[in-house]
Structure 1
Amino acid sequence: MNTAGHSEATAPRGLELTPFRGLRYDPDRVGSLAAVTSPPYDVVVRPDGVHHLQDADPHNIVRLILPQAGTVGARTEQAADTLRRWLSEGVLTADPEPALYVYEQRHSDGMLQRGLIGTLRVSDPAEGIVLPHEDVMPHVVADRAALMRATSANLEPLLLTYHGNGSAAEVVERTAQRPPLLATLTEDGYHHHLWSVTDPDDLSRVQTDLAHHQALIADGHHRWATYRRLRAEHASPSPWDLGLVLLVDTSRYPLRVRAIHRLLHGLPVADALASIRDHFRVRSLDLPLPGALEALADAACEGNAFLLAGDGAFHLVDRPDPDLLARTVPADRPAAWRTLDATVLHATLLDHVWRIPEDDPARIAYIHDTAATVRKAERHGSTAVLMHPVREAVVRDLARQGVTMPRKSTSFGPKPASGLVLRALDI
């Protein structure tokens, strides 16, 4: 049944990326463009990272994407007030005409990524146009939805990938040869460049090409779920039918896939190890972090493997008991899903052995930075579970089968910097 005016019969069958009037910082009103950017909201290590970013510039985007207050209502009101003030003061200004934006990230290690930022029509899962590969946490979607409602804005793009190498890619490459709208170097070593695409012929080429493709959500499952929730709340047509995205053609620019680690609050490493010694092989490693991660990678080639840390050492956990896996891992999913490290961690260790709810922020945190995860575990007497990344081919294959991975299973990158271009829905 169709609701809120969304017609399955008339919906496009592919990606529909449209131009918008980007909201950008006025370089004359801020210390530097680099100082007002931030990693995506779920990558910022809290509270240390929030404080660092707030200190970098009074107008840092973290004050919008991660407002600091005691309640959800207070946080969203604070973000909305801040955005209104920055608009009235000219700190943020809207570009004069709608555009798609070519966005480039370049690193001295040779990494180069280019893609298109625009507003994408929010589609239903049944359409098979945008493929998720991870489950989401309802409380995070609710938090993001409250923030977007209060600000009436998409504050940071999510990251989508597709395989194309067609006319859209040609427009991206040609545009990137021109002088950019902005260029900045952030403290993580990435050079960022942004160009606008306003020529009607170029916009038409992009839209015609993308209409034949589907996309994989690389980063931003919670924001996509939020877009879908907010679209359902508003009758079409409305600005909520669209959401801000960065779309990268990975046939030209393959992404890197990294793991997302777990921090288990209140579970000392000794207790975590004691409860699994009869079910897994456990070896303590007298190695620094890089060496321990290499040992994890080697073990992961043979089967499920994890690194536990938090007591000043690293403990390699592998070779799970097959009978334990048979009892705890659901059998109604493809083999590629049943054998994922994240599946075994959540179904076997978190649910069955350690009894830690995966969606309880008081018991578990999901952290992208490996060293930060270890430091926080050691500081608080908790357990860090370090993961080995999943190959992109596995992620895409499962997504095409309609099978979602356990939440926070992967981290694709590089992720777009937040703060370079925003979308206000009422502009």
Structure 2
Amino acid sequence: MNTAGHSEATAPRGLELAPFRGLRYDPDRVGSLAAVTSPPYDVVVRPDGLHHLQSADPYNIVRLILPQAGTPSARTEQAADTLRRWLAEGVLTADPEPGLYVYEQCDDAGMLQRGLIGALRVSDPSEGVVLPHEDVMPPVVAERAALMRATSANLEPLLLTYRGNGVTAEVIERTAERTALLSTTTEDGFHHRLWSVTDPAELALVQSDLAGHQALIADGHHRWATYRLLRAEHPSPSPWDHGLVLLVDTVRYPLRVRAIHRLLHGLPVAEALSALDGLFRVTRVEKPLPEALVTLADSACTGNAFLLAGDGAFHLVDRPDQDLLARTVPTDRPAAWRTLDATVLHATLLEHVWHVPEDSPAHIAYIHDAGATVAKAEGDGSTAVLMHPVREEVVRDLARQGVTMPRKSTSFGPKPASGLVLRALDL
């Protein structure tokens, strides 16, 4: 599957997606495939979601991706022990031959997404093959790296997008007409199917097609940074040269882009609003959440806008003072970056108005579900900051310029379910 050695140093390599022997749950050993899956580790809403998943099945994947113990080292040791035990018991078994996996997600509303899961060569940023669009938090990378070292496994794929509509798409469509390896429906209503592509001719077609493409990280910046860290720790060639990804062609299957919301621990709504006096317009919104989000979307069409919640009401925060923005937003990046809601939130509101450190879990949480963010804020007297999503083309254009967005700016979806296929590095 690799290009000839003499050309590697000079030829542009593009995306290199290698087949691997997937680790999959034995359906006869678990309650159901749906019951052992989970959203990606950073989407599980704690603690309720975690406890719900743990109780769904004793073999739920959260016991690997989010082990629960008193110390970081105990958590990683627990995950490693759990994985070894599941392998020894035959709960997880390796497929007999390497393949790329066609993965399909669909729902009853007509949404259909298909992509390829494989082991992607971990490239350097200078190659411009995999484009990040967000910064990462070093403590999260360190945590994910410790977990991967301990388990010697990629436990869940990150999500990459590319613009293709070529041969790879045709291979995917042909494969999806065959009998699937697995089929399950998760409680969120999504139907999941998985196939394996093992034919050498088809694998060669995919590799040749992908070699001319670059990819955008849609979800999984911390896992990609972890792959890069672990690759640097191991002499090449090694299994750590590759990392598990789901690659989706958004020409054929456009993703949905949603916002990621903020929960500001220890900052009451009244205090947050008081600090905005004279700096932003604040309007009380007497509507339920779905309609309040429509109000936010309307306001976001004309400028920066946010929705604050946590005191039983919603407060639209918009029309920032231009002098305030000029003083607080860095001017060394393009206008498209300077005017992002996430930029204004982090550079102006968090840093200068509310003095909330963006990388401190004690002060801020990043939550994908608006309703859960509001409920948590109301439950502990905190402030929920609800965001409006940015368009995919804005994200891609900035990434191509080498400009990263503020962390947790976007949520592309649907995200792959964790637990359908894993990659053990020692296979």
Please give the range of the TM-score, normalised by the shorter of the 2 chains: over 0.9
Match of 1:29, SS? coil
1:9 is displaced (CA, Å) by 2.5
1:269 maps onto 2:269 in alignment: yes
For these two proteins, the number of residue pairs brought into alignment is 421
User: Where has structure 1 moved over 6 Å in runs of 4 or more?
Assistant: none
How far apart, CA to CA, are the structure 1 residues paired with 2:11 and 2:260? Answer: 35
1:216–1:288 CA distance, 2 compared to 1 (3 A): same
1:12 is displaced (CA, Å) by 4.8
Alignment correspondent of 2:206: 206
How far apart, CA to CA, are the structure 2 residues paired with 1:309 and 1:97? Answer: 52
1:285 maps onto 2:269 in alignment: no
1:13 is displaced (CA, Å) by 2.2
Give the alignment's TM-score, normalised by structure 2: 0.98
Give runs of aligned pairs for residues 219-298 of structure 1, distance below 5 A: 219-298=219-298
Alignment correspondent of 1:166: 166
Alignment correspondent of 1:3: none
Give the alignment's TM-score, normalised by structure 1: 0.98
Amino acid at match of 1:389: P
How far apart, CA to CA, are the structure 2 residues paired with 1:348 and 1:70? Answer: 36
Amino acid at match of 2:208: T
Amino acid at match of 2:230: L
How far apart, CA to CA, are the structure 2 residues paired with 1:264 and 1:222? Answer: 21
Deviations, residues 18-67 of structure 1 (Å, cap 9, x unaligned): 10000000000000000000000000001111100000000000000000
RMSD of aligned C-alpha atoms? 0.9
How far apart, CA to CA, are the structure 1 residues paired with 2:8 and 2:360? Answer: 36
Give runs of aligned pairs for residues 12-51 of structure 1, distance below 5 A: 12-51=12-51
Match of 2:28, SS? helix
1:8 is displaced (CA, Å) by 8.0
Alignment correspondent of 2:420: 420
Alignment correspondent of 2:4: none
How far apart, CA to CA, are the structure 2 residues paired with 1:69 and 1:311? Answer: 33
1:9–1:341 CA distance, 2 compared to 1 (3 A): same
1:378 maps onto 2:370 in alignment: no
Alignment correspondent of 1:147: 147
Deviations, residues 61-86 of structure 1 (Å, cap 9, x unaligned): 00000000111100000000000000
Which consecutive unaligned segments of at least 5 residues does structure 1 have?
A: 1-6
Alignment correspondent of 1:109: 109
Match of 2:395, SS? helix
1:11 is displaced (CA, Å) by 7.1
Alignment correspondent of 2:331: 331
Match of 1:272, SS? helix
1:110 is displaced (CA, Å) by 1.1
1:82–1:12 CA distance, 2 compared to 1 (3 A): farther
Match of 2:374, SS? helix
How far apart, CA to CA, are the structure 2 residues paired with 1:242 and 1:123? Answer: 9
Deviations, residues 220-251 of structure 1 (Å, cap 9, x unaligned): 00000000000000000000000000000000
How far apart, CA to CA, are the structure 1 residues paired with 2:318 and 2:69? Answer: 41
Which consecutive unaligned segments of at least 5 residues does structure 2 have?
A: 1-6
Alignment correspondent of 2:196: 196
Give runs of aligned pairs for residues 344-355 of structure 1, distance below 5 A: 344-355=344-355
